[in-house]
């Protein structure tokens, strides 16, 4: 793996190289190129955070011995769930959530958060606990979290599309919390047979989801923060068998090539469980990757089996990534290794079916006889 970002490349470390770790898991190996001296030097840095204020791990690979950053105290999923059960048992007038910390507060903690002028949601209903993406404030680090949340219209389209495909029962949501949330809600109501599991770096969700439906996970280095998380994923994939689908909505500022390596590893887990032949550079697990159209070349270069659908993915909390922005709407698309002809895009929104291409196109895209496609650029 080598991915150039300006004068820095992301590299795959040799198998015998010792890789340091930080609180976010194993570091990534980078190579920095100095144009003036025409020399380069390799270093390790945090896989999740580029800002040293968030994580200060930075060690030169040629310095020999180095030690990992001290891992901060970790609150286990079990501890978070104990908090949830205590919170749920409280009367409504004592159920308050700290939006600043993303924490379900117990009575003894409320005054401390109030003294610090934290934003609070008070008198929380039990039904609100089933919609954590509305309960918590989105995290906004564009390269690590970037929690731009799908609009209801997009969620309906994604779930409807998966259900119409009729061969997928288990949706693995990697960094798509609102999708996971809605699948869980519909299953609870009996409106959908789909089930889901969420892998996300945002540990706030550990309060509200059981270990069987959530694991804290770093998608940039395929790191599970608890061993049980990996085991739960294996159980989920085993239960899914051929009915598994990976749906991911990574931060748009994240490193595509690092993400690809993680998705390939998830696919390898699935392949081993279902007995499919492995493939070195391709993701064999059925996949829907949500990402901007202007990053298409980087995605399809790394994963040639993926192709881009014309559907414009809409977000609730981003001024540019919604279909109210200018004339052409959101620049975010769906990349998938499922045949494009199997996706029915909403004709009421102007999408039309192109017979020669055997796929739906956006209303502004016209079929080109010379190139045999409906180009969007």
CB contact set of 92 (below 8 Å; sequence gap of 6+)? 123, 124, 125
Q: Which helix (H) or strand (E) holds 290?
A: strand 287-292
pLDDT of the residue at 248: 97
Q: Tell me, what DSSP letter sits at residue 139? A: P
Low-confidence ranges of the chain (pLDDT < 50): 1-5, 141-142, 144-145, 278-282, 318-319, 321, 325
pLDDT of the residue at 107: 96
Length of the chain: 377
CA geometry: angle 211, 240, 302, nearest 5 deg: 95
Stated pTM of the model: 0.89
pLDDT of the residue at 154: 96
pLDDT of the residue at 279: 46
Contact by Cβ (8 Å): 26, 57? no
Q: What is the pLDDT of residues 69-114, one digit of tens each?
A: 555 567 899 999 999 999 999 999 999 999 888 999 999 999 999 9
Contact by Cβ (8 Å): 100, 93? no
Q: For the structural domain made of 152-338, what CATH number should be given?
A: 3.40.50
pLDDT of the residue at 3: 46
Q: What is the CA radius of gyration of the chain?
A: 22
Instruction: Show me where the domains of the chain are located.
Output: 2-63, 77-130, 152-338, 345-377
Which residue from 50, 46, 52, 51 is spatially nearest to 23, judged by alpha carbons?
46
């Amino acid at each position: 793996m080598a991915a150039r970002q300006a004068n820095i490349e992301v590299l795959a470390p040799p198998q015998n190289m010792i890789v340091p770790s930080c609180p976010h898991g194993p570091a990534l190996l980078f190579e920095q190129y100095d144009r003036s001296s025409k020399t380069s030097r390799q270093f390790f840095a945090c896989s999740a955070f580029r800002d040293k204020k968030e994580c200060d791990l930075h060690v030169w690979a040629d310095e020999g011995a180095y030690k990992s950053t001290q891992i901060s105290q970790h609150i286990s999923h079990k501890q978070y769930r104990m908090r949830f059960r205590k919170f749920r048992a409280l009367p409504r007038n004592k159920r308050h959530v700290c939006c600043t910390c993303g924490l379900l507060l117990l009575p003894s903690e409320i005054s401390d958060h109030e003294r610090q002028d934290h934003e609070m949601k008070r008198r929380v209903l039990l039904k609100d606990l089933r919609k954590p993406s509305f309960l918590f404030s989105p995290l906004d680090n564009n390269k690590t979290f970037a929690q731009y949340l799908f609009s209801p219209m997009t969620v309906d389209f994604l779930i409807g599309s998966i259900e119409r495909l009729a061969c997928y029962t288990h949706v693995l949501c990697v960094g798509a919390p609102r999708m996971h949330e809605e699948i869980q809600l519909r299953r609870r109501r009996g409106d959908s047979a789909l089930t889901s599991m969420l892998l996300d770096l945002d540990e706030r969700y550990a309060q509200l989801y059981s270990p069987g439906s959530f694991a804290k996970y770093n998608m940039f280095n395929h790191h599970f923060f608890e061993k049980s998380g990996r085991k739960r994923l294996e159980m989920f994939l085993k239960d899914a068998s051929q009915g598994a689908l990976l749906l991911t909505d990574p931060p748009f500022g994240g490193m595509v090539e690092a993400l690809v390596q993680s998705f390939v590893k998830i696919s390898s887990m699935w392949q081993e469980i279902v007995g499919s032949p492995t493939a070195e550079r391709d993701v064999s697990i059925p996949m829907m990757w949500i990402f901007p159209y202007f990053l298409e070349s980087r995605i399809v270069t790394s994963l040639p089996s993926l192709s881009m659908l014309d559907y414009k993915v809409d977000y609730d909390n981003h001024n540019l990534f919604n279909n109210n922005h200018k004339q052409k709407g959101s620049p975010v698309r769906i990349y998938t290794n499922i045949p494009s002809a199997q996706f029915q895009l909403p004709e009421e929104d102007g999408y039309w079916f192109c017979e020669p291409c055997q796929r739906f196109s956006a209303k502004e895209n016209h079929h080109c006889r010379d190139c045999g496609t409906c180009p969007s650029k």
